[in-house]
Amino acid sequence: MKYSIITFGCRVNQADSLELEQALLVNGASPASSDQADLVVVNTCSVTASADQGARQTIRRIARANPSARIVVTGCYATRRPGEVSDLPNVAQVVANDDKPRLIQLLRSPSAFTTTAERFGDGEGPCGAGIEPGMAGRTAYTLRVQTGCAEPCTYCIIPSTRGRPRSVPVEEVLGEVRRVAAAGFREIALTGVHLGSYGRDLTPASSLCGLLRALAAFSHVDDGQARVRFRISSLEPMDCSREVVALVADHACFASHFHLPLQHASNRVLDAMRRPYTLAQYAELVDGIRTRIPDASIGSDIIVGFPGETDEDFQQLSSYLEGSPLTHVHVFPYSDRSGTAASAMTGKVPGTTVRERARLLRGISEQLAARFRASQIGTVQQGLTLEDGLLAVTSNYLKVRIAAGRARNEWVAVRITGTEGPTLTGEIG
């Protein structure tokens, strides 16, 4: 059986798709393009209305280009609107997020699409099969250690699509890290829906710091080089403690990269969003990171056009971003999600205003990114080669173009020499 997996959205979805890909490979399936595959799995996002629309458009395109394909749809949009998704052309099955771990068994079920099931193997899981750097086009491995969220943010639909927080026990995480490292991966991105809540649901309780300490012990440094580099995915500001920052600063196995969603710089809007921090607390956090780790990449997410956002609120937001130590910002125009508290709020900002404000913020983000790239010229960074070996991604999340002669997945010391648009140029030391 030939399969294709198309993934939308966050790194948690990417990790889920990677697990599914391994399971398909161990069951004898082989990868193909979506227009040639027998089975196409679409792993959807639903964080905004445009994410829903993107999934619908993709499913319709696949159905037109490959009418014989059986399309299975999973992810947050499939969980939130299963009936809407099942009505799309060629959708054979809709699988909610909670059923993702059983997706292979569901595909084998006689009640599933029989022609695909008849060609499906009898493997028993992904362990040890089909995993190597470059699988699914990825040099780094994305590892989900937590899922679910119980935070009360008024704009977010994800708690209803991902459920309560659930963490993978530390020993199970370490076991997966050993397997991935043995397969040759040199960078692992740790991800979760609410990663900072890691371990609170376990018995006995653990914590993100406890997990990071265990990973640091595993990836001991030998001659200045960690066995595996861990990149910490998005952390809520209230979860990025001084101890987390110290662990990243003091251990070479952690990438000097933080992603800390601010969402807004107006305390009034933050309060309406039910975000449990103030701008002053956020600024103290990122200023402290910049002092402790001068070369760190610090990214953020921003929502523009939240209900009730005034010109003054927007001015506070843009002014803070312009003077902040952030290195890049993802700008999300506010999107009503039915069932959230924000969807019932008054004072909706006109679409033309939202689009113009988003345009201005994206311009500021480009300036921040250019400033950070320029600040790195002349520094030497640890990089991991990507794709055909002509690019390397640094610990502080910069892509650097290098000369030919290296394979994918090699550690290199790169001296950054200049810029070519969003990509830096460098020489291998």
As a whole number, mean pLDDT of residues 283-290 equals 98
Claim to verify: residue 222 and residue 247 sit in the same structural domain: yes
Check residue 44 and give its pLDDT: 97
Structural domain includes residue 209: yes
pLDDT digits (tens, 9 = 90+) for 34-93: 999 999 999 999 999 999 999 999 999 999 999 999 999 999 999 999 999 999 999 999
Same domain, 371 and 386: no
273 and 244 in one domain? no
Distance CA 123, CA 207 (A): 34
Q: Which pLDDT value is given to residue 130?
A: 60
Averaged over 200-218, what is the pLDDT? 96
Query: Is residue 331 a part of any domain in this protein?
Result: yes
Please, which pLDDT band fits residue 111 given cuts at 50, 70 and 90?
Answer: low
Asked if residue 131 belongs to a domain, the reply is no
CATH code for the domain of 39: 3.40.50.12160
Judge whether 92 and 106 are in contact, CB under 8 Å: no
- Say if 73 falls within a structural domain: yes
Q: Is 298 within a domain?
A: yes
* pLDDT value of residue 220: 72
Whether 331 and 396 map to the same domain: the answer is: no
Q: Which of 118, 149, 164 is the last residue of a domain?
A: 118
Whole-angstrom distance, CA of residue 289 vs CA of residue 249: 9
Per-residue pLDDT at 116 exceeds 50: no
Same domain, residue pair 389 and 370: no
CATH code at position 330: 3.30.750.200
Q: For the domain that residue 249 is a member of, what is the CATH number?
A: 3.30.750.210
386 within a domain of the structure (yes/no): yes
**Residue 373 pLDDT > 70:** yes
Burial state string for 192-202 with b = 16 or more CB within 10 A and e = fewer than 16: bbbbbbbbeee
| pLDDT at site 127 | 43
CA pair distance 26, 131, nearest whole angstrom: 10
Residue 360 vs residue 1, higher pLDDT:
360
Domain membership of residue 127 (yes or no) is: no
Number of domains in the chain: 4
Same domain, yes or no, for 172 and 250? Answer: yes
In a 13 Å sphere around the CA of 68, the CA atoms on its Cβ side amount to 9
pLDDT band at 408 (very low <50, low <70, confident <90, very high): very high
pLDDT at 389 over 70: yes
Indicate the residue type of 34.
Answer: S
Check whether 412 has a pLDDT greater than 80: yes
Same-domain check for residues 81 and 101: yes
Instruction: Please give the share of the chain, as a percent, with pLDDT higher than 70.
Output: 93
| pLDDT at res. 112 | 52
Alpha-carbon dihedral sign for residues 124, 126, 165, 42? negative
Local confidence band at 95 (pLDDT 50, 70, 90 cut-offs): very high
Q: What is the mean pLDDT of residues 397-425?
A: 93
Look up the domain containing 71 and give its range: 2-118
Same domain, yes or no: 167 and 250? yes
Question: 100-104, 160-164, 173-177: which has the minimum mean pLDDT?
Answer: 100-104
Q: Which residue has the higher pLDDT, 134 or 46?
A: 46
Q: Is the residue at 126 inside a domain?
A: no
Let me know whether 196 and 291 are in one domain.
no
Nearest to 228 by CA among 134, 296, 167, 140: 140
Average pLDDT in the chain: 92
Query: Are 191 and 169 members of one domain?
Result: yes
Neighbours of 422 (CB within 10 A): 12
- pLDDT-derived band at 169, boundaries 50, 70, 90: very high
Q: Quote the pLDDT of residue 126.
A: 42
- The answer to whether the predicted template modeling score (pTM) of the entire model surpasses 0.75 is yes
Q: In this model, does residue 118 exceed pLDDT 70? A: no
Q: Is the pLDDT of residue 128 over 70?
A: no
The confidence score (pLDDT) of residue 189 equals 97
Judge whether residue 405 has pLDDT over 90: no
d(CA 216, CA 392): 23
228, 325: one domain: no
Q: Are residues 404 and 422 in the same domain?
A: yes
Evaluate whether 412 touches 386 at the Cβ level (below 8 Å): no
Q: Which of 255, 278, 308 is the last residue of a domain?
A: 255
pLDDT score of 224:
59
